[in-house]
Amino acid sequence: MDTYALMEYLDGSIRGQKVRDILESKSNKCYLLSDNAAELVSIYLRRKWDLAPALQLIRGLPPLLLDMDSAEDAGRIHAKMREKNKHIGLIDAILIAMARRHGLKIVTGDQHFKGVPEAILI
């Protein structure tokens, strides 16, 4: 799950309903990159929103922790995409690397993921 998707879910938006369907589907196993959990907490605190719903959500998802091989892959992905003038954040590159390493999909609405085969755009 990308931070964008989690924000939509917590907001209860139409895109968030799609995320809810994915989260609640018995055929899907959803994970949360620890970096995205940190990003979500930061966003909520900076906006002075009630952090409790976000914490409940992130604590209910199994974490994916960055290992050194994935960190190297993420750095390579980030550098390659930036060379192509594609603006992408390092956390997004980490998410792509982890999805590739674990054979997972990325649920997001973030247009930075457009064209990324692992991305499911909501």
- Listed by start position, the domains of the chain span 3-121
The answer to whether residue 53 scores a pLDDT higher than 80 is yes
- The answer to whether 108 and 118 have CB atoms below 8 angstroms apart is no
pLDDT tens-digit map of 22-38: 999 988 899 999 999 99
Binning pLDDT at 50, 70 and 90, where does residue 73 land?
very high
Residue 86, pLDDT > 90, answer no
C-beta of residue 74 within 8 angstroms of C-beta of residue 88? no
pTM score:
0.86
| CATH of region 3-121, choose from 3.40.462.10, 3.30.1600.10, 2.40.37.10, 3.40.50.1010 | 3.40.50.1010
* Residue 95 pLDDT: 95
Position 84 scores a pLDDT of 85
